[in-house]
């Protein structure tokens, strides 16, 4: 596939399908750095063709995050340019964020406490965009992403477009059916390797995702009722938090909170996340992945959580929207960390009120 062709097609999906951009609407395009330029340019051009007003937010340069956390004093670490961030979020009608990590390990030598503290301060501005429900996030491939996944950049490019450019109309019909099933359910049970965990979704409404907020996309998610998770779960897929890898995560829950946590690698990071605030030890999301064009893990949650036939749970914040979230009595946290469980293996399944809805990676309706 020619990259320019793929990028143009993807830009049209973003603006027409994901965001339904209308003439005279203002679109803020946040490009992580110059590596995002090929896709950011196509989104800019297509927005102009639709009669909207696109604005590309300034790009960053490699190494600046490391320098900031290395050199900033306490005042600098705690200072937030609120006026600028507020103006950006209030100006735009819709938001497109294109991440293109040039070095996913840039902050590995930085004290995680600094990163977590800063994230808490900036989270309200990110939440304002998320709660607007008119945003799109994607990660455009870079050599760093390819290295993390252990693949070539050319392979990753083909993988990316194949994962993103799916038939979202067909996916919508299929996932809305699963959404209706989850809407009526009360108790979810997940069984698999070192896993037997249950939690309530009673009173919650599920959300089918078919290319409206993430690309690639393909999942149905809901917010577990706070304090209802009981049992244990092992996550086969690697996770990362601000570039720091954690593998082989094992969690035990009682009364909705993590009471035991282990990891085969990065256990210190896992414990730091769990202790970062009061809500980090509780669940904010449960989801079933349904993009069957994605079959292998990429060490990247945006892709891995969409793998067809897997499930994922998020520690921390639940969304506030009625569908997929908890408009009231939800879990609050600066953390929202998606952890992916492989339920495609023999003997793995998901039950809803005692009825199997996912067996060996296949969704049953």
Helix, strand, coil shares of the chain, percent, nearest 5, are 35, 30, 40
Report pLDDT digits (tens) over 133-176.
899 999 999 999 999 999 999 999 999 999 999 999 999 999 99
Say whether pLDDT at 98 is over 80: yes
Q: What percent of the chain has pLDDT over 70?
A: 99
Gap between the Cα atoms of 325 and 286, Å rounded: 10
What tokens does 102 get?
A: 């040039």
pLDDT at 4: 55
Binned at pLDDT 50, 70 and 90, residue 58 comes out as: confident
pLDDT at 1: 41
Gap between the Cα atoms of 188 and 48, Å rounded: 45
Report pLDDT digits (tens) over 290-323.
999 999 999 999 999 999 999 999 999 999 889 9
- Please check whether residue 335 is in contact with residue 315, taking contact to mean a CB–CB distance below 8 angstroms: yes
Q: What percent of the chain has pLDDT over 90?
A: 82
pLDDT at 3: 46
Burial of 271 (C-beta count, 10 Å sphere; 0-12/13-18/19+): middle
Gap between the Cα atoms of 80 and 121, Å rounded: 7
Domains of the chain plus CATH, in order, are: 3-164 (3.40.1830.10), 168-363 (no CATH)
Gap between the Cα atoms of 89 and 95, Å rounded: 8
Average pLDDT over residues 275-290: 96
Mean of pLDDT over the chain: 94
Of the candidates 288, 284, 281, 287, the one whose C-alpha atom is nearest the C-alpha of residue 326 is: 284
3-state secondary structure (DSSP) of residue 156: helix
3-state secondary structure (DSSP) of residue 214: strand
Average pLDDT over residues 86-113: 91
Contacts of 94 (CB under 8 A, 6+ apart): 19, 21, 25, 26, 27, 28, 134, 135, 136
| pTM for the structure as a whole | 0.89
Beta bridge partners of 121: none
Report pLDDT digits (tens) over 318-342.
998 899 999 888 999 989 999 999 9
How many angstroms separate the Cα of 211 from the Cα of each of 36, 53, 166, 170, 204? 19, 22, 9, 11, 22
Please tell me what DSSP assigns to residue 58.
P
Beta bridge partners of 234: 250
Task: List strand residue ranges (DSSP E) for the chain, in order.
Answer: 26-31, 53-57, 94-99, 135-139, 187-192, 195-200, 207-209, 214-215, 219-222, 230-235, 239-241, 244-246, 249-254, 257-262, 283-289, 311-316, 336-341, 349-352, 355-359, 362-363
Range 17-36 burial, b when 16+ CB lie within 10 A, else e: bbbebeeebebbbbbbbebb
- Please check whether residue 256 is in contact with residue 226, taking contact to mean a CB–CB distance below 8 angstroms: yes
Gap between the Cα atoms of 276 and 278, Å rounded: 7
Say whether pLDDT at 277 is over 90: yes
- Please check whether residue 307 is in contact with residue 291, taking contact to mean a CB–CB distance below 8 angstroms: yes
């Amino acid at each position: 596939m020619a990259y320019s062709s793929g990028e143009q097609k993807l830009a049209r999906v973003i603006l027409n399908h994901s965001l339904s951009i209308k003439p005279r609407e203002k679109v803020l395009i946040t490009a992580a750095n110059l590596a995002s330029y090929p896709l950011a340019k196509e989104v800019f051009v297509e927005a102009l063709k639709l009669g909207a007003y696109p604005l590309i937010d300034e790009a960053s340069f490699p190494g600046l995050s490391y320098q900031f956390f290395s050199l900033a004093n306490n005042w600098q670490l705690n200072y937030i340019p609120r006026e600028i961030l507020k103006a950006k979020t209030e100006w735009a009608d819709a938001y497109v964020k294109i991440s293109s990590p040039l070095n996913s390990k840039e902050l590995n030598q930085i004290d995680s406490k600094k990163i977590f503290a800063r994230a808490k301060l900036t989270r309200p501005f990110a939440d304002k965009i998320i709660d607007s429900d008119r945003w799109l996030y994607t990660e455009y491939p870079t050599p760093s992403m390819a290295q993390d996944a252990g693949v070539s950049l050319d392979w990753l490019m083909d993988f990316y477009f194949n994962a993103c450019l799916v038939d979202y109309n067909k996916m919508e019909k299929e996932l809305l059916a699963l959404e209706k099933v989850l809407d009526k359910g009360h108790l979810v049970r997940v069984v698999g390797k070192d896993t037997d965990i249950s939690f309530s979704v009673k009173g919650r409404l599920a959300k089918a995702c078919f290319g409206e907020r993430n690309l690639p996309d393909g999942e149905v998610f809901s917010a577990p009722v706070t304090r209802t998770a009981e049992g244990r779960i092992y996550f086969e897929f690697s996770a990362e938090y601000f570039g720091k890898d954690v593998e082989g995560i094992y969690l035990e829950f009682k009364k909705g909170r993590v009471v035991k946590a282990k990891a085969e690698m990065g256990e210190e990071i896992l414990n730091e996340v769990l202790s970062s605030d009061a809500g980090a030890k509780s669940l904010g999301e449960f989801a079933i992945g349904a993009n069957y064009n994605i079959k292998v893990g990429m060490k990247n949650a945006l892709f891995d959580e969409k793998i067809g036939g897997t499930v994922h749970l998020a520690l921390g914040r639940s969304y506030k929207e009625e569908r997929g979230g908890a408009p009231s009595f939800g879990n609050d946290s600066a953390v929202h960390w998606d952890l992916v469980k492989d339920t495609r293996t023999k003997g793995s399944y998901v039950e809803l009120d005692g009825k199997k809805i996912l067996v060996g990676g296949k969704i049953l309706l």
